[in-house]
Amino acid sequence: MIGSAWIARRTVLGGLGALGAAWGGEGTTPLPAGVKVIDAHDHLFHHSRRDWQEADRSMIEAADILGIDQLCCSILPPERPTRLESFRECNKWLLEAMGRFPGRILGYCFVNPGYTKEALEEVRRYVEDHGFIGVKLYNDYRADEPVVRPLVELTIRLGVPILHHGGHTSWLDTPQPRISDGSHMAALAGQYPEATLIHAHIGGGGDWEWTVKSLRHAKNVYLDLSGSVIDEGTVEMAARVLGVRRLLFACDLSMTASVGRIRGADLSEEDKRLILGDNMRGILDRRRAA
C-alpha cells in the first residue's frame, strides 16, 4: 500500500525475477493464455522523493517481469487533508508519466471532494481531454458523505469508475477517522446504482471477511484484491460471496503478494482470466460507450 516502505530496486527486481519465471514454470499454475493483465489499483511516486524517477521505472520493470500489461495508477500527496494545489500537482505529474510510459500507465484523477467546483473541473478535464480512466478518492471524506455525491454523478455521466480507499480497520494504532468501509461503499452504491465503484485493497484493509460480507448486496461495487496481507482463502471467499465478475486483480505496490494471491487461488483458469483483466477491461470499455 502507499504508506509501505520501498525496498531497494535491485532487491525487488531480483526477487521478482524468480517469481516472474514461475508464471509458466514447471509445476506451477501458468498465467491463462491470451489474457491482458490489468492492475486495477497502483501508484506512482510523489516527486518529493529524491528517487521518484527510479522508483517509477522499477514499477514498470517489475510489471514486465510479472506479465502485467497495464497499471491503473494515481499519485497521492503525503498530507491529509489533501490541499487543492497538491492534487492538481499530482495529476499533472501522472499525465507526464503516461507520456513517459505510453500504453502502460492508465490514469486515475485524484481529488479531494471538499473542493467541489475545482474537483469536478479537474476530473472532467483529465478524463475528457487527457484520457484518464477514472477517479481516485482517499480518506478526505467517507464514501457516504454528501460532499462526494457531485463527483459520483459526474463519473456516471463520464462512464468512469471511482476507486475508493477503504477498509474495516478498528485494529489500527492510529485510526483514519474518515476511512470508508464496506458499509459506506454499499450505502453510496445504493444511492447511485448506475455508478461503478471499486473498493480498494481487500488484502490491506483490516477485517477482510467483514468487508466481503458487507458488499454482498452492493452489486455495482467491485473489490480489488491488492494488499500485503496474504491470508489463506481471501480470494476464494470473495469469489463465493460476490462472484468472480466483481473481483479485480490489483497490486497497490504489493506486487509479488498480489500476483501470488491470484496464482495460488483455488479457481478455474476462466475465473482467473476474468479477475486478471477481463473484468477491468469491461469497466474501461464503459467510458467509450458513455
Domain ranges in the chain are 108-289
Are 233 and 198 in contact, with CB atoms under 8 Å apart? no
Condensed to tens digits (0 to 9), the pLDDT of residues 155-165 reads 999 999 999 99
* pLDDT at residue 143 tops 90: yes
CATH of domain 108-289: 3.20.20.140
Contact criterion met (CB below 8 Å) for 108 and 71: no
pLDDT of residue 290: 66
pTM listed for this prediction: 0.89
Q: Cis before residue 78, ω within 30 degrees of 0? A: no
pLDDT of res. 169: 75
Given a cut of 60, is residue 2 above it in pLDDT?
Answer: no
* pLDDT over 80 at 6, yes or no: no
How big is the CA angle at 271 (ends 267 and 274), to the nearest 5 degrees? 145
pLDDT in tens, 163-206: 999 988 766 555 677 889 999 999 999 999 999 999 999 988 78
Residue appearing with cell numbers 497502483: 42
CA atoms within 13 A on the CB side of 213: 5
